[in-house]
């Protein structure tokens, strides 16, 4: 694991406020009530780690964050049939940083360090957790035939989306701890969406590294994808290629005939989250294609994998995005229905 240590050392030395263990950092920074809560979380992580890592506990090999560490481990285990990919994934190290707004970044390579460094803002998984719960509650409400149950789920959706928009309000209402009914159907669905969303985010950034977009010896775009709206912008092409790589990594080993439906919708949820922070999701930037084009590309990727589910997801995203635009127009200033085909 020497190469992982070198990338980890780069993170700790180059990034302001970088910490070696995110959960222990939260424990040490918290008040008495928070310390009790984080201590319980650490104990649960240790227990899970002993099961997953054959008694090695919560050792962090691929990230300073326990949850992200195990997502990377999953991606590695799913790549065991591809020796090259397997070994490349083992060079990844992800550092969570104390920054607001959902963002992750593949850091340009440095010849003095081995491995692939990715940073991720702490709000990325927090926002994904909120949005996963919003979507899960919506899916349950969509299926329920009980009016009172639907009303309860929609109310919960609205509360969760308010938390996503205003973290200070969330902390004030909940002391920074989101309480959910662990055994509920909506929470099980949300957990699956969150897991797959995080894997897609990580897979996208890993794609930038493995496709040599972060190489120090010049760009080497490995991209067979022909975007629906042709662009000659190299950096925009890179984003399409990284999305495709992240999707392929997510579905690796999944049977198209019997896929996990809550995994497949995750890439679209990630794009929806990014759009919440973008007033013009239909407009490209200098280095990124529009979120609309990325959304349509991923919808096409899902359709190639399972056309039936892609059609359902398109309908679901239409409904959720329309709900967001209608009920939160004071906060979300979309000028177009960018999600509609």
SS3 12: helix
Domain boundaries, the chain: 2-124, 144-327
pLDDT at 225 exceeding the cut of 50: no
pLDDT at res. 177 = 63
Q: Looking at the whole model, is its pTM more than 0.85?
A: yes
Average pLDDT over residues 60-82: 94
pLDDT at 211 exceeding the cut of 80: yes
pLDDT at 226 exceeding the cut of 50: no
pLDDT at res. 137 = 96
Q: How confident is the model over 115-164, as pLDDT tens digits?
A: 999 999 999 999 999 999 999 999 999 999 999 999 999 999 999 999 99
The answer to which of 30-44, 118-132, 195-209, 236-250 has the lowest mean pLDDT is: 30-44
Strand partners, 117: 93
CA 64 to chain centre: 16
d(CA 38, CA 23): 7
Burial of 5 from C-beta contacts in 10 A (0-12 / 13-18 / 19+): middle
Q: How confident is the model over 293-331, as pLDDT tens digits?
A: 999 999 999 999 999 999 999 999 999 999 999 999 999
């Amino acid at each position: 694991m020497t190469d992982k240590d070198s990338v980890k050392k780069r993170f700790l030395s180059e990034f302001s406020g970088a910490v070696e263990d995110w959960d222990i950092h939260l424990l040490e920074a918290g008040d008495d009530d928070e310390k009790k809560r984080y201590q319980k979380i650490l104990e649960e992580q240790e227990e899970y780690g002993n099961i997953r890592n054959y008694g090695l506990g919560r050792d962090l090999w691929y990230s300073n964050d326990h949850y992200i560490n195990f997502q990377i481990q999953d991606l590695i285990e799913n790549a065991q049939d591809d020796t090259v990919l397997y070994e490349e994934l083992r060079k990844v190290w992800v550092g969570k940083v104390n920054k607001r707004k959902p963002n992750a970044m593949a850091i340009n390579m440095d010849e003095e360090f081995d491995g692939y460094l990715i940073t991720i803002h702490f709000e990325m998984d927090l926002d994904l957790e909120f949005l996963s719960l919003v979507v899960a509650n919506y899916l349950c409400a969509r299926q329920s035939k009980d009016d009172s149950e639907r009303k309860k789920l929609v109310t919960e959706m609205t509360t969760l989306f308010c938390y996503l928009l205003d973290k200070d309000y969330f902390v004030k209402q909940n002391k920074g701890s989101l309480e959910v009914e662990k055994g509920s159907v909506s929470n099980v669905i949300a957990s699956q969406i969150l897991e797959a969303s995080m894997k897609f985010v990580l897979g996208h950034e890993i794609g930038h590294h493995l496709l040599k977009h972060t190489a120090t010896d010049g760009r080497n775009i490995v991209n067979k994808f022909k975007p629906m709206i042709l662009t000659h912008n190299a950096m925009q092409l890179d984003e399409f290629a990284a999305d495709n790589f992240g999707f392929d990594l997510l579905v690796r080993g999944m049977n198209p005939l019997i896929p996990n439906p809550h995994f497949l919708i995750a890439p679209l949820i990630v794009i929806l989250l990014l759009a919440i922070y973008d007033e013009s999701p239909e407009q490209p930037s200098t280095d990124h294609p529009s979120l609309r084009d990325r959304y349509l590309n991923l919808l096409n990727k899902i359709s190639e994998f399972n056309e039936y589910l892609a059609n359902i997801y398109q309908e679901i995203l239409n409904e959720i995005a329309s709900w967001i635009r209608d009920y939160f127009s004071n906060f979300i200033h979309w000028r177009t229905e960018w999600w509609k085909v």
